[in-house]
Structure 1
Amino acid sequence: MSTLRFKALAELPFRNYRKDNAVEVPKKLSELFCENVFSEETMRAYLTKEAFTSIQDAIKKGSKTPRNIADQIAVAMKDWALSKGATHYTHWFQPLTGSTAEKHDSFFTPFESDRAIERFNGGMLIQQEPDASSFPNGGIRNTFEARGYTAWDPTSPAFIIGTTLCIPSIFISYTGEALDYKTPLLRALSALDDAATDVCKSYFDKNVTKVTATLGWEQEYFLVDSALYQSRPDLVFTGRTLLGHSPAKGQQLDDHYFGSIPTRVMNFMKELEIECMKLGIPVTTRHNEVAPNQFELAPMFEETNVAVDHNSLLMDIMARVAHKHHFHILFHEKPFKGVNGSGKHNNWSMATDTGENLLSPGKNPKKNLQFLTFFVNSLKAVYEYSDLLRASIATANNDHRLGANEAPPAIISAFIGSQLYGVLEELEKVTDGKLSPEEKTELKLNVVGKIPEILLDNTDRNRTSPFAFTGNKFEFRAVGSSSNCAGPMTVLNAIMAKQLRTFKGEVDDLIDNKNLKKDEAIFNVLREYIKDCKSILFEGDGYSEDWANEAAKRGLNNLKTTPEALKSEMNKKFIELYEELGIYTKRELEARNEVKLEKYSTTIDIEAKVLSDIARNHIIPAALNYQNRLIDNVKGLKEIFGDKEFEPLAREQMDLIKGISANVAQIKVGVDELLAAKETASQMHGQKQAEAYCNDVKPRFDKIREASDALEMMVDDELWPMMKYRELLFTR
């Protein structure tokens, strides 16, 4: 009997019915909201008028905070934090590890032999100095060049977790290069603001002074009992099960989706929501997802930078709260073979400081033309930079999920619904040049004017589309559940900024040099964009082989693997885009590409080591143990019944013995081949190394898994060392 597996299973009833894990919400969630956030309301209470105005200008206008004002803000922030029981502070940042990072420093400062104070000033608020060479940097920082800086980002509010004041920050090298997710995101958001505001002011509303990109993410995840999790080395070290036979019942009956939430899970969700409310994360939706033990939560829309911070913070909180309820949370995109994986849909739009959603039609033709302008430009941006969008979601984990009949394919396309597609077809017919009075009337009344009515009864959603319009936003569905939203959001906002710049230049050229009216110029440019981007518009089943063939005819790339996608990321066109907008230098982009490739190779390398270890030290010994029992049984039958009667009585046992031997041999050969391929790949570097791990190492996993899963169905259940899917996926 496998002690570890059965001991964990024996603890399950105790864990499932513990009364002390019950959670009661202490008061209205609205009263808890932002309780531990240095919010605008808190700032008003703690800051002088001068300091409050300064920090609001920094948030809304991007202006710098003078040092004397920073000192005032720091003192106020410290006083507020101390009133909440805080003892330490940290610059909370998002390095390229994929998780968050923090270095805690105490407010405590001795100033005489027996006296001390709590100290925190503007310098401490604005900057800290972690070791930049110890984080992924793609060669920007050598081991002997340790210095890097975290710098306060005032656009995202400080918050308290436990006894620590957390200050959202960017992370840069000593020489100024970005080493995190937040820095390029802020640059992209600034570029979009400039470009979108320019278009709004020039053509639609002179009162617009700022455009903010908005984001609403949807976080999917699995919950596994912590004891069961600890009994699976593959889950512990890789986040996914490298072995495991599918259970008789999985998700075939669709009975988990939107079903009644188990009590134990509900207690976890309640406590999670309480902590989210305190930290200003406006989560509003929770439900069971399709796969067993899979769940989802989603918040209200927020400004993109804050939304990204909140999602990263949420993932930290989820892990902590899950631990209290004896769960381990799995963010891996595909932790279990044969059941749906997890994504993180990024719902994206743009909003003006006058209160308008630029991807929502209005009540008159002018507002609808504004909607069409931003809608069509969004499609054109995706058309021009589809491979860059694909690269933004490329990870070893997400490769398991994309196109697996639960997530969009790796081919980037857009779904807009048949009604809006019809509108674009009408716009495509616009006369080249000046419009006649009849054409203007037709466009404004019968085409543009009817958009709100069309969207009231929009076409059914298409879950197979990577980039779908869903009424007043685009849903980037292909983002992986473990990813930082900042990556894809940096790309999406950057390509939109570039596209809007191009659009304005073309419209102004028609107005200045062709003497066209403003609306005529806009219609003419949009018409050409519609012709260009029709190749990415697809309304059908993205999972089908027919679409893959059709996409190839349309010239769309199907970058199925991360190495393919990351190779395309270094296209000269993409480098020039980033340099023009000031989002990345070529050096920064090359460094990030190197970090991503190294992370991909390292992920596969770790999985290969773990799989080899489990196969040799867990699976083969268990199989041989059971085989020896069978051999003893056969010997006993032969001894009792003799040679003549023995054979028919022992036929099944003999077949099992042969089957075990064949599968053990397959595992042994498979592991030897896997380790040899891994060793060869490990000697390579960069793109070639990632391709070797993808094409030569990773495919060898299948042979080992096939034999192991076959053995799982042969070996006595009490001898099998690995926690089975039926046990992992149906914890209540």
Structure 2
Amino acid sequence: MTRNTPPQRRFDSLAAVKDSPLRLDGEQRVDLGEIFGENTFSLSSMQARLPKPTYKALLKTINEHTPLDPSVADAVASAMKDWAIERGATHFTHWFQPLTGLTAEKHDSFLSPTGDGRAIAEFTGTELVQGEPDASSFPSGGLRATFEARGYTAWDPTSPAFLMEGPGGAYLCIPTAFASWTGDALDQKTPLLRSIQALNTQATRALALFGSPAPRVRATLGPEQEFFLIDEEFAYRRPDLVVAGRTLFGAKPPRGQEMDDHYFGSIPERILDCMNDVEVELYRLGVPLKTRHNEVAPGQYEMAPIYEDANIAADHQQLTMSTLRRVARRYGLLCLLHEKPFAGVNGSGKHLNWSFSTDSANLLEPGTNPHENMQFLFFCSAVLRAVERHQDLLRVSIAHAGNDHRLGANEAPPSIISVFLGDQLTDIFEQIEKAGTAETSKEGGLLGLGVDALPRLPRHAGDRNRTSPFAFTGNKFEFRALGSSQSISFPATVLNTIVAEAIDEMVTNLESRTADGVEIGEALRALLSEEVPKFKRIIFNGDGYSDEWVEEAERRGLLNLRSTLDALPSLVESKNAELFEKYSVLSRRELESRHEIMVEQYFMTINIEGETAADMARTMILPAASRYLSDLLQCMERADDVGIKVAGVEATARAVAEAVDGLVEALDHLVKQNAELGGEEVHDKAEHMRANIIPAMNAVRERGDELEKMVPDDLWPVPTYRDMLFVK
């Protein structure tokens, strides 16, 4: 059969394999101890370059959050400049985290003209401490008018400056907070720092009451990052991946993740080379990456660090995402951080491991006999109390359009917030509820494997639960509902704040009891016996994916905020506004601004997807299907001319024609809905996206995916899932 126009396949999976970049210079050998942190202006770098009194003053600011003396800032700026220039830096930037979920930077040269035709390298304490980027184009949620451009960046001395290197040179990045001219926080870092301070204040109160005083308590984070790596040969030929970060069309391939052979399998060579380079760059920036492995879906991977102070961990997490994207390009790969880039296989999350500790002890470490560890039971109860009371805030903290695709699906926790404690801790709290105290802790024992040569393994007292959104995992809580693309700062801010409130109220209760002469141990046992019945409804150790749990959660009175737009109104409820204001984490204005921004981002995300889906269907899928239908009709016409029966071709043509008609009908509806937008107010537009655009997109996709299974491979205009997920 002939075609009106010759087929021109726009991609070639064989070429993608043949031309894929690989490391050709052998294994990269590095001394981890030597390179770790070499591109950070670390405490050791400061100590080596600063006078002792200056270094001590700076250390006091970092550790005790005392105000910074201007003379200290001048000395640090001079030492930081010299350190950066010695390593090839020509510019510096105040590196900050606006409410886009990404990072931002404006570069300034170290050079200053002298007036005699020369220039010198300068960097003052004033330049270090404060910058003034244009704030007019960053999301503000109504905190400032568009025509008011002034915004300030303020140096965060608790997070080390670092050097970013590239083929074109290097520049110094100084982590900063970002605020408006009126002092309102326009970033993710400022509320996080405030929440860390609030948690420290309340937790040190508790420790003093228990007779274990500590100078400070630090929130710690360890975020696990899931992502996909696919060949650029395919990725950049898909407008949906380029524009929306996920595939808006794509039929399920004959094989997906059913064989369970990708998970923890051998990492493909090109992927491993890429991961090695990512790790080396991040090690040099002081990011303590610890693990890497294949994830469940084909083409999906994970990297995770060990714990750090929450503020530094949030900065490092942003560096991890940007480094993954940047280094992947060197290997002809595209890193996809969207929560659901491919339908029908597991999406990507970002499990946030959270705890809090003194300089010497993790306060969520249960010890060998948790039932006797009253301090641990106090802090653990405070977390449970906080989660039970503020399940709405935790749900809001992970609410965005991308995450709606995975919450409640078969690889992510449900949208119902609950806590997995495991058998041991659940039993202890049940004892406290029944008897007012706990007498025993379940033992894990040893696990024999039936082979004499294999060691007997220590067995934990309880199994893990991968369906729980908030699970206790030994000495920390794992908040598993975060989306892979989002900043960890806001979820951490919420956790720190709600736990600070719970500790505050429980300590106040204990102080009142001990003031009346009750011994602290007795007072604590009485308090816990009162608290357990209040928060026990949030504890669930079963299958969070089951329909039975949805029904059980409803009976318990737990919230089930299924989508982003269901969850967002909770953010600005009075109890939550009062909470953030009480602990000076977010003012009511700042909280309302974030609500507006989240609604607007939801609208814009779905609007972009709707327009992209319509364009792809109209300009790519429909023409490809029409060409195939034309080929079939020509075949039928010529067969008829020579008297050959082609019933199979005719049946295929009818099926294709029916699918094309269905696509056109669905496409017309999507185009109409895209044009309407739903109103003038952003809240109305967002609701229009949920109620009309998403169903219309799904209908177009259904018809498009149906055609993908009919149209010949050499006519189909975009790479298929088979190509993208399995060519490595």
Q: What TM-score, normalized by structure 2, do the two folds share?
A: 0.95
Structure 2 letter corresponding to 1:164: Y
1:322 pairs, out of 318, 325, 328, with: 328
CA distance in 2, matches of 1:315, 1:88: 23
Paired amino acid for 1:295: Y
Counterpart of 2:17 in structure 1: which amino acid? P
Query: Counterparts in 2 of 1:113-128, with a 5 A limit?
Result: 113-128=116-131
1:35 to 38, 48, 72: 38
Which among 574, 581, 584 is matched to residue 579 of structure 1? 581
Partner of 1:378: 383
The alignment partner of 2:45 has SS state of: helix
Do the aligned partners of residues 21 and 330 (structure 1) sit closer, same or farther apart at CA in structure 2, a change above 3 Å counting? farther
AA in 1 matched with 2:638: G
Q: Which residue of 1 aligns with 2:397?
A: 392
Specify the SS of the correspondent of 1:583: coil
In the alignment, does 2:719 pair up with 1:726?
A: no
Q: Distance in 2 between matches of 1:171 and 1:56?
A: 23
Q: Give the match for residue 58 of structure 1.
A: 61
**Equivalent residues of 2:17, 2:727 under 8 A apart:** no
Question: Would the aligned equivalents of 1:234 and 1:240 in 2 still touch at CA under 8 Å?
Answer: yes
Output the CA distance in 2 between the equivalents of 1:266 and 1:453: 37
In 1, Cα distance between the equivalents of 2:443 and 2:383?
A: 17
Report the Cα distance in structure 2 between the residues aligned to 1:384 and 1:74, rounded to whole angstroms: 45
Aligned to 1:563: 565
**3-state DSSP of counterpart to 1:117:** strand
Kindly state the Cα deviation for residue 689 of structure 1 after the two structures are TM-superposed.
Answer: 2.4
Cα 1:39/1:691, change in 2 over 3 Å? same
Structure 1 2/516 Cα, relative in aligned 2: closer, same or farther at 3 Å?
farther
CA contact (8 A) 1:343 1:479 kept: yes
Instruction: Tell me the SS of whatever aligns to 1:187.
Output: helix
Number of the residue aligned with 2:451: none
Give secondary structure in 1 for the equivalent of 2:233: helix
Q: 1:148 Cα shift?
A: 0.3
8 Å Cα contact 1:343/1:481 also seen in 2: yes
What is the deviation of 1:682? Answer: 4.7
- Of the three residues 72, 76, 86, the one matched with 2:75 is 72
1:675 CA displacement: 2.5
> Is 1:9 aligned with 2:10?
no
Q: Which residue of 1 aligns with 2:254?
A: 248
Residue 343 (structure 1) aligned with residue 349 (structure 2) = yes
1:553 maps to a residue whose letter is R
- Residues 518-550 of structure 1 show CA distances to partners (whole Å, capped at 9, x for unaligned) of 111111111222101111111111011110011
Asked if the contact 1:362/1:452 (under 8 Å) is kept, the reply is: no
Deviates more, 1:120-129 or 1:687-696: 687-696
Structure 1 counterpart of 2:454: none
CA contact (8 A) 1:396 1:604 kept: yes
SS state of the match for residue 440, structure 2? Answer: helix
CA offset at residue 696 of structure 1? 1.6
- Indicate conservation of the 8 Å contact 2:9/2:714, yes or no: no
| Cα RMSD (Å) | 1.7
Maintained 8 Å contact 2:93/2:107? yes
Q: 1:361 maps to which residue?
A: 366
What is the one-letter code of the residue matched to 1:294? Q
Secondary structure class of the residue paired with 1:134: coil
Pick from 426, 440, 449: which aligns with 1:447?
Answer: 440
Shift of 1:4: 5.8
TM-superposition CA deviations, 1:659-699 (whole Å, max 9, x none)? 22222222222122122223333534233322221122111
SS at match of 1:480: coil
Alignment match, 1:675: 671
Does residue 698 in structure 1 map to residue 698 in structure 2?
A: no
SS of match in other structure, 1:729: helix
Name the CA shift for 1:365/1:461 in 2 (closer, same or farther; >3 Å). Answer: closer
Deviation per residue, 1:359-384 (Å, 9 max, x gap): 00246789711111111111110000
Distance 2:674 2:712 in 1: 32
In the aligned structure 2, how far is the partner of 1:376 from the partner of 1:19? 51
SS in 1 for 2:525: helix
Structure 2 match to 1:620: 622
- Asked if the contact 1:159–1:165 (Cα under 8 Å) also holds between the matched residues in 2, the reply is yes
Matched, 1:268 2:274: yes
Q: 1:477 to 1:2 in 2, by over 3 A?
A: farther
Take 1:528 and 1:340, find their aligned partners in 2: how far apart are those partners? Answer: 41
1:458 Cα shift?
A: 2.5
Secondary structure of 1:249's aligned partner:
coil
User: Among 109, 133, 141, which residue is 1:138 paired with?
Assistant: 141
Letter in 1 for 2:37: C
Is 1:524 paired with 2:529?
A: no
- How far residue 558 of structure 1 moved from its aligned partner, in angstroms, is 0.8
Q: 2:210 aligns with which of 203, 211, 215?
A: 203
In 2: Cα distance, 1:419 partner to 1:69 partner: 51
Q: Tell me which amino acid in the other structure corresponds to 1:691.
A: E
Q: CA deviation at 1:57?
A: 1.0
| Amino acid aligned to 2:288 | P
- 2:482 equivalent to 1:479: yes
Q: Distance in 1 between matches of 2:173 and 2:372?
A: 41
CA distance, structure 1, for counterparts of residue 700 and residue 493 of structure 2 = 39
* Partner deviation per Cα, 1:432-454 (whole Å, 9 max, x = no partner): xxxxxxx7xxx4xx337x78989
Whether contact under 8 Å (2:371, 2:428) holds in the other structure is no
Displacement after TM superposition at 1:651 (Å): 2.0
Give me the identity figure in percent: 46
Secondary structure at the residue paired with 1:112?
Answer: coil
Structure 1 CA distance for aligned equivalents of residues 123 and 413 of structure 2: 48
SS of equivalent to 2:282 = helix
CA shift at 1:168, angstroms?
0.4
Answering whether residue 416 of structure 2 is matched by residue 411 of structure 1, we say yes
Counterpart Cα distance in 1 of 2:520 and 2:682: 50
Q: Structure 1 pair 248/521, CA: closer, same or farther in 2 (3 Å)?
A: same
The match for 1:191 among 169, 190, 198 is 198
Cα separation, 2, equivalents of 1:366 and 1:636: 85
Q: 1:607 to 1:531 in 2, by over 3 A?
A: same
Structure 1: which amino acid aligns with 2:250? G
Look up the equivalent residue of 1:617 and give its one-letter code.
T
Query: 1:365 and 1:279, CA in 2 relative to 1: closer, same or farther beyond 3 A?
Result: closer
**Partners of 1:582 and 1:376 in 2: how far apart?**
23
Residue 508 of structure 2 corresponds to 505
The equivalent residue for 2:224 is 218
Partner of 1:589: 591
One-letter code aligned to 1:63: T
* Pairwise CA distance, 1:113: 2.7
Q: Distance in 1 between matches of 2:698 and 2:75?
A: 61
2:615 and 2:373 mapped to 1: Cα distance? 61
Per-residue CA deviation, residues 470-512 of structure 1 (Å, 9 max, x unaligned), is 0100000001100100010000001000110011111122222
Task: Name the count of aligned residue pairs.
Answer: 708
Q: Distance in 1 between matches of 2:566 and 2:101?
A: 21
Name the aligned partner's letter for residue 423 of structure 2: S
Say if 1:283 and 1:300, in contact at 8 Å, map to a contact too: yes
Matches of 2:307 and 2:573 in 1, distance apart? 33
Q: Matches of 2:549 and 2:598 in 1, distance apart?
A: 29
User: Separation in 2 of the partners of 1:140 and 1:4?
Assistant: 50
TM superposition shift of 1:553: 0.8
Question: Deviation string for 1:579-631 (max 9, x for gaps)?
Answer: 10111111111111000000000000000000000000000100000000000
Aligned residue number for residue 93 of structure 1: 96
Give the match's secondary structure for 2:291. strand
**Residue in 2 that maps onto 1:83:** 86
Residues 669 and 364 from structure 1, CA distance in 2 versus in 1: closer, same or farther, beyond 3 angstroms? closer
The DSSP-based 3-state class of the residue aligned with 2:726 is coil
- Structure with more of its chain in helix, by fraction: 1
Aligned-partner Cα distance in 2 for 1:161–1:377: 41
- 1:424 is paired with a residue whose SS is helix
Contact 2:22 2:273 in 1 (8 A): no
